[in-house]
Amino acid sequence: MIKVALINLGCPKNQVEGEYMLGVLEEAGFHLESSPYRAQVVVVNTCAFIRAAREESLGIVRSLNDIKNRPLILLAGCLPQYLGAQAPHLVPQASAFLGPGAIPQLPAIIKQALAGKRPMKVPEPQEEKWQLLPRLVTTFPYAYIKISEGCRHRCTFCTIPRFKGPYRSRPLKHIVSEAAALVRAGIKELILVGQETTSYGLDLYGRPALSELLKNLSRLEGLKWIRLLYLHPSGLTPALVEALADIPRVLTYLDIPLQHVSPRILKKMGREGDPEAFLKLLSCIRQTLPGVCLRTTFMVGFPGEGEEDFSLLLDFLREARFDWAGAFKYSPEPFTPAASFYPQVPEEIKEERLFLLMEEQRDITRQCNTRWLGEEMEVLVEKPGVGRTFRQAPEIDGRIYFSKKTLLSPGQMVKMHMEKLINPYDFWGRITGKNAETQAGLSN
């Protein structure tokens, strides 16, 4: 039996594709290893969004090449798409190359590589077909579900449309079918991901269909939470926000990557908006969805970003008061218009602005979280002593910590009293009500 290990890098969309790979391999009779040191074949599911991600992927490949009993290395995911026909020359350590559209062929590709061939199966985006694939979930009790591929926007800093292609919605029936299987397997929270989830359905149905998809998912018996990530601000219409308020199980948690707020910088980015328009959007959301939790992402150091632009961003941050915000430094990506924009911001200024932005947000997040102290909230248990409320997406936001003596199992949902902040991001919780009585009996 061939022993295969998977190293998964990058975003939640990669997480989904990695789990498809595991499902396909398990169904084909391969032995799945948790450690690359015990495997004959290591599949590296790569990210190519920015230079740092590509360097991380190549660093993993080089480290695998140095293992004493060197495994066969299969380069999968975004990097083979990004490198294209040059991949075999630029990554000589890899024995095979696999794009996301060729995941069903993974078992055959591994066997060809073991036989001494060097297969490369990286379909062009327009050649990829949506399929229902077996899946081995590694994130229980939650699971990401991919609803689209590619992007219809053309931000000047982003290379994704070049190798991921135009926006392509996954058929609604495929998504609901996969979601139903996940819920039957015990998944309590579904997290919808795509390059831009608000555009779902435009290409297939000629109209936005995200609310229709959510209504179908909300009917799944046993599902507790539906979470939305990557909502493009231009697609968050009042009609969609009102629909979110009316659909059961959809969490009042919205992730809206704004990237910047300076009209001048946004125009250079190929995006629309200004502080006034964004504040109006946030006000509409908060009025329609009382108690909503808002997250965003910003970029600092975009070419031409001056002190006035950055000051505008900081002022907006203070007024908008997002519960959570992430930020990253601009990096010039080959084949993107922004790579040739002038002037490029010096690295030390990018570092300083990133630090100042995140320090400001740290205080805002602490203040936002303080408002929940003393409240009783529903918590999804992830592992002994650790859980999340609706306000916390996995991996990127804070957590709820509680006594491991409670003997709660992953997937249980319990009421907890928010006792204290451990730090600006994480809470200490105490189980309340009937759950507290039950767990007290178990732990005695």
Confidence of residue 442 (pLDDT cuts 50, 70, 90): very low
Q: Domain range spanning residue 407?
A: 376-443
The predicted model gives 247-257 an average pLDDT of 97
Is the pLDDT assigned to residue 438 strictly greater than 60?
no
Are residues 380 and 363 part of one domain?
A: no
pLDDT, residue 104, reads 96
> CA-CA distances (angstroms) from residue 4 to 87, 159, 182, 223, 347?
22, 31, 24, 32, 40
Give pLDDT tens digits for 266-309: 999 999 999 999 999 999 999 999 999 999 999 999 999 999 99
Percent of the chain exceeding pLDDT 90 equals: 89
Q: Both 358 and 381 in a single domain?
A: no
Count of domains forming the chain: 3
Distances 411 to 82, 180, 222, 224, 398 between C-alpha atoms, Å: 37, 16, 11, 10, 18
Other beta carbons within 10 angstroms of residue 280's beta carbon come to 11
Sequential DSSP letters for 373-408: TT-EEEEEEEETTEEE-TT--TTTS--EE--GGG--
pLDDT above 60: residue 83: yes
pLDDT (tens digit, 9 = 90+) per residue, 6-47?
Answer: 999 989 999 999 999 999 999 999 999 999 999 999 999 999
| Residue 284 and residue 172 share a domain | yes
Asked if the structure places residue 135 within a domain, the reply is no
234 and 285 both lie in a single domain: yes
Domain membership of residue 132 (yes or no) is no
Q: In what order do the strands lie in the sheet with 3-8?
A: 31-33, 3-8, 41-46, 72-77, 96-98, 120-121
Q: Is the pLDDT of residue 444 over 70?
A: no
Q: Work out the pLDDT band at 125, boundaries 50, 70, 90.
A: confident
Q: Using CB atoms within 10 A of its CB, is residue 326 exposed (0-12), middle (13-18) or buried (19+)? A: middle
For the chain, the average pLDDT equals 94
Is the pLDDT at 435 greater than 70? The verdict is no
Task: Find the mean pLDDT for residues 362-389.
Answer: 97
184-220 residue pLDDT tens: 999 999 999 998 999 999 999 999 999 999 999 999 9
50-51-53 Cα angle (round to 5): 70
Asked if residue 414 belongs to a domain, the reply is yes
Residue 10 sits in the same domain as residue 46: yes
Residue 133 in any domain: the answer is no
pLDDT at 436: 54
Are 355 and 387 part of one and the same domain? no
